[in-house]
Structure 1
Amino acid sequence: MYQSAFNRVEHEEGVFSSGVNQIGGLSRGTHVVFNSSAHLPLHTDGSYIPIGSIKTSILLCKQHASQGGETVLFDSVSAFQQLRIDYPDLANILLEENIFRRRSTGTQSGKQYSHIGPVFRSDENGGFIGGFTLDITADWEWSYKINPRVADAVDYLSQLATEGSRYFLTFPLCRGQALIFRNDKISHGRRAFTDDPACPRTLLRGMFVDVPKLSA
């Protein structure tokens, strides 16, 4: 199980030595995700490391919110494949090695974290992996300065990441339910929610560098 250096160094709350992270139900802390009930835009786990490093994420719901908090999934790799068909020139821009930066926006230590790389890249099986992200860590202004046409590519993908799209799914993750998904293929997010102070929304997250395997 993977635990990010960012969380180990910058956030004590919700971070366990086992690698598990607790999201919500915390009595203190300033983590923009772990301590917030706000809408969480689409992202992939592993903000400041190369895309594809975290292949699998698991979310276990210990307690769902009293209202809202639905999970959001976007099949960004399949959407990218459609972009390649419709606008191959735009798709190729997102494959460039220096086209995208994710960076921290404020830390307790004052240290800043960032990673520069492609938004998507080919994998060893002839497909693609992705790190399509729209949350606060995504520095798209960096991308636009390198190539203004990135904005057109992001707009195309963002339109597919909406209700009614075959690449987009929202659903409640209820108490006792778990979600296992390919973090290197799927972007995820969360709707805003309202908590019951006596039973706050609480999830446990694990990140893994291997893909899920079925065993008999």
Structure 2
Amino acid sequence: MIINRLGVDPQRDVAEPAEDISASLEKSPVLVAELGNESVETIPNSLQTRLGAPVLHKLGAGSTRLVSIRADSQESSTVRRPQNTPETQSPHTDGCFMASPPTVVALYCSSPAASGGESVLVDGARLLEECTAELAPHELSALFRDDAYEIARGDQVLRRAVLVTERAGGPPRVGLYFSSHEFNTVDVHPDARRGFDLLARLSRDPSYQQNLDLRAGECLIFVNSRILHGRRSWRDSETAVRHFQRGWYAAHRSRVSAGVSADDLTPRAREKLLAAAGGDG
């Protein structure tokens, strides 16, 4: 997996870094942008300018543009939320509770942990290659079912597909909407069980993962339906407290393509995947 790096000069016209970011994500679905030491107050506007309209996070009875991720967050909730604990979170797609998850996810590092807390990335193209090799056609098709699995956390519940044909110009694309980490519960349709379990096993396999240790002022930006992401557990100290901020963005599909392009797969995997999706390849 290629991770591009991009320095963003805050003195430049805002349209220029936006074009740089979208162009970079078209070449590689993962980017680290060096935003510098922007304040907590300016980060939401800065990212919105560069990535498009924000997709709001639901937190309890309210919603917010940006979620603070740190172990000492003081949120009064009976629901165990990943942003309030330093524990490991397995790789997943963000926003699977929503009918239309965000196109782009941004994780801005205000300050890293004393130890641990690395971001974990898994390339969806590699997962789809493996799924097409190991699953029978009917097992692969089951992942495209609208009721492939139900995901739940607190009062957020949605039954959805794992794989979705993304509507865009150019080569066919398949979006990966997989979430089965330590803070959710899932109920998987029997027909989709083998494929779902395969994705869970592969995404937790270190040989499929790439670790990334962000520094203060760096922002990890990635295509949500192409890249699964998680994190390692971490430890804070009196002088180093891990604090990340997460934003979701509905980047325009004409500028940032969702999902895995069929052109990124081998001919055999492409043919089998598109047949499972009901396409003609």
Q: TM-score surpassing 0.5?
A: yes
Measured against aligned partners, the alpha-carbon deviations of 1:110-139 in whole angstroms (never above 9, x if no partner) come to xx2211110111111411111111214544
1:27 Cα offset (Å): 4.7
Q: Aligned partners of 2:247, 2:73: CA distance in 1, in Å?
A: 21
Instruction: Report the counterpart of residue 65 of structure 1 in structure 2.
Output: 113
Greater strand share, structure number: 2
Measured against aligned partners, the alpha-carbon deviations of 1:71-130 in whole angstroms (never above 9, x if no partner) come to 01112354124312432332111111111111114xxxxxx2211110111111411111
2:160 partner letter: G
Matches within 5 A, 1:158-197: 158-161=200-203, 162-165=205-208, 168-197=209-238
1:9 to 56, 61, 74: 61
Q: Percent identity?
A: 20
Q: Aligned partners of 1:194, 1:137: CA distance in 2, in Å?
A: 19
Q: Aligned partners of 1:153, 1:123: CA distance in 2, in Å?
A: 20
Measured against aligned partners, the alpha-carbon deviations of 1:25-63 in whole angstroms (never above 9, x if no partner) come to 64512552221101112222213212x531100011011
User: Structure 1 residues 186 and 85, CA, compared in 2 at 3 Å: closer, same or farther?
Assistant: same
RMSD of the TM alignment (CA)? 2.4
Report which of the two structures shows the higher radius of gyration computed on alpha carbons. 2
Matched, 1:96 2:139: no
Structure 2: gaps spanning 5 or more residues: 1-53, 257-281
1:203 Cα offset (Å): 0.6
Matched, 1:155 2:155: no
Normalised TM-score (structure 2) = 0.62
Greater helix share, structure number: 2
Matched, 1:46 2:95: yes
Matched length: 194
Q: Does the residue aligned with 1:207 lie in a helix, a strand or coil?
A: strand
Normalised TM-score (structure 1) = 0.79
User: Structure 1 residues 186 and 3, CA, compared in 2 at 3 Å: closer, same or farther?
Assistant: same
Instruction: Report the counterpart of residue 119 of structure 1 in structure 2.
Output: 162
1:208 to 249, 253, 258: 249
Instruction: Report the counterpart of residue 175 of structure 2 in structure 1.
Output: 129
1:210 Cα offset (Å): 1.5
